[in-house]
Amino acid sequence: MGMFIFESPILVNFVYPFFLIFFVLFAVLDRTKIFGEEKKQINALVAFIVAFIFVSAVFPKVIVSNLILFLAIALIVVFIVLLLWGFVMGGTSLNIFENSKPGFKIFVGVLILVGVTIAVLWAAGVDTGGLLGKLFNSDWSESFWTNVLFFVLVAIALAVMLRTSGTKK
C-alpha cells in the first residue's frame, strides 16, 4: 500500500508546521500592529524567521502537533454537543420545550454533556470497566436498569397527566 502524498515526512515534519506558525504569527503581528501600520513586509519577515526557527526544533513541533490534534477533537465534540442541543431545543419552527420550566432545559443539557462525555471516552478507547462495568455488566444490572426505566416512564407519564389536568381547570 502506497503512502498518501499528504502524509509525506517532509510535509508533516517541516512544511505543515512551518506554514501553520508562519500564517498564525503573521496574522497576529498584522492584527496587533506591533511594528506599526502597513508594515506587512516586516511582519512577514519576522513570521518567516520564527517559523524557520520553529521547524528546526523538535520539541515545540511535538507540542504544537498534540495541541492541534486536541483542538480538532475538541471542536468536533463541541459541534456534536451544539448539534444535539439544537436538535433537542429546536429553532423557531420546532421548539419542543417551549412551555417547559428552565430547570428542565438545564437537565436536558446536563444529560447531553454526560452522554457526549461517555461517547468520547468510549471512542477514545478509555477502559471504563470500573464503574460503568459494574453498572452495566453485573448480574443485577439488567433488572436494575429495567426498574429505573420503568420508574422514569411512570414519572414522565404522571408529570404529563398532572400538567395537562392542571391546565384544564
143 and 119 in a common domain? no
107 and 147 in a common domain? no
Of residues 24 and 114, more confidence is placed in 24
| Structural domain count of the chain | 3
pTM across the whole model:
0.52
Which residues lie closer than 8 Å to 136 by C-beta, 6 or more apart?
Answer: 145
Query: What's the CA gap between 149 and 17, in Å, rounded?
Result: 51
33 and 75 in a common domain? no
**CA nearest to 68, candidates 127, 124, 19, 6:** 19
Residue 82 lies in a domain: yes
Residue 63 lies in a domain: no
* Domain residue limits at 38: 1-56
Residue 66 lies in a domain: no
- Contact present, 26 and 44 (Cβ < 8 Å): yes
Report pLDDT for 45: 94
Tell me the average pLDDT across 133-158. 80
Residue 153 lies in a domain: yes
2 and 48 in a common domain? yes
137 and 93 in a common domain? no
Residue 137 lies in a domain: yes
38 and 4 in a common domain? yes
First to last CA, the chain: 73
Q: How many CB atoms are closer than 10 A to CB 99?
A: 8
Residue 6 lies in a domain: yes
Largest CA distance in the chain: 77
Residue 62 lies in a domain: no
Residue 163 lies in a domain: yes
Question: Which of the listed residues 26, 56, 86 is the one where a domain comes to its end?
Answer: 56
For residue 166, give the H/E element and its range: helix 141-167
81-127 residue pLDDT tens: 888 877 776 665 556 666 677 777 778 778 888 888 878 777 777 66
Q: How many CB atoms are closer than 10 A to CB 159?
A: 11
104 and 145 in a common domain? no
24 and 48 in a common domain? yes
* Vertex 5: Cα angle to 4 and 10 (nearest 5): 120
- Contact present, 23 and 64 (Cβ < 8 Å): no
Tell me the average pLDDT across 141-162. 82
Query: Which ranges in 1-129 belong to alpha helices (H)?
Result: 9-10, 16-32, 40-56, 58-89, 102-123
- Contact present, 40 and 27 (Cβ < 8 Å): no
37 and 13 in a common domain? yes
